Structure 1
């Protein structure tokens, strides 16, 4: 009886040993996304027109791009070197900041979507008439 009991016990140990030899689950790899360090020269401004409408303009001088947020929409524009001061455009829209006059237009329709005058720039204390 001892031999039968010993052989059954050894059989169970051998069987359980082979049954537990499944490949272990691969250890989960945890990667933490670290924000990329950029040395871009970024300027962010919010302008308000005389009606109270706001436009948010983010200019990346390193990549020569401008991102305009107006009425819940985002427009990505590329700086244009041919036009005066800071002007950026894409196939449909154009943003310009010339002497403190901010305009955002739809090019194909010659439609002004936003126009404002930047405070402090381009404004003089006295106005002189010329004849």
Structure 2
């Protein structure tokens, strides 16, 4: 009787013990946020070999300037001409090809570059 009972228990327990729950397919929904900001990034080098990196976010009207290992966050100023951004201490401007980054309190220019405009070719004169 004990053998019969042990056999019945084995018949019942072995199939249920050997069943592993199947691995369910994992669904990972990782949606990367789309960056819809209009961003331009420029690196300028002046005649002394100094580099300035300017990142302009046209959507948020901000500019980030990297110069000499420091980062400056500036806000676009609509009152000043062309593209000008500033904060309490610093001002970045790009006016007619002149790129200037200065410290406003002491009127000290930290970076200045005059970009050479590319010639469109020889000037054509009208002939009559």
TM-score by length of 1: 0.65
Question: Is it true that 1:46 corresponds to 2:43 in the alignment?
Answer: yes
Structure 1, gaps ≥5 residues long: 1-29, 126-131
Tell me which of 102, 105, 120 is aligned to 2:99.
Answer: 102
Q: Is the 8 A contact 1:58 1:67 kept in 2?
A: yes
1:54-110 per-position Cα deviation (integer Å, ceiling 9, x unaligned): 101111111111110101111110000011111000011000001000000011111
SS at match of 1:36: coil
Maintained 8 Å contact 1:47/1:118 = no
* Residue from 63, 66, 69 that aligns with 2:66: 69
| Residue of structure 1 in register with 2:84 after alignment | 87
Residue 52 of structure 2 corresponds to which residue in structure 1?
55
SS of equivalent residue, structure 1 residue 62: coil
- Residues 18-53 of structure 1: per-residue CA shift (max 9 Å, x gap): xxxxxxxxxxxx885724332x11111111111010
Aligned length: 117
The gaps in structure 2 that reach 5 residues or longer are 1-27, 123-128
SS at match of 1:46: strand
SS in 2 for 1:77: strand
| 3-state SS in 1 of match to 2:64 | strand
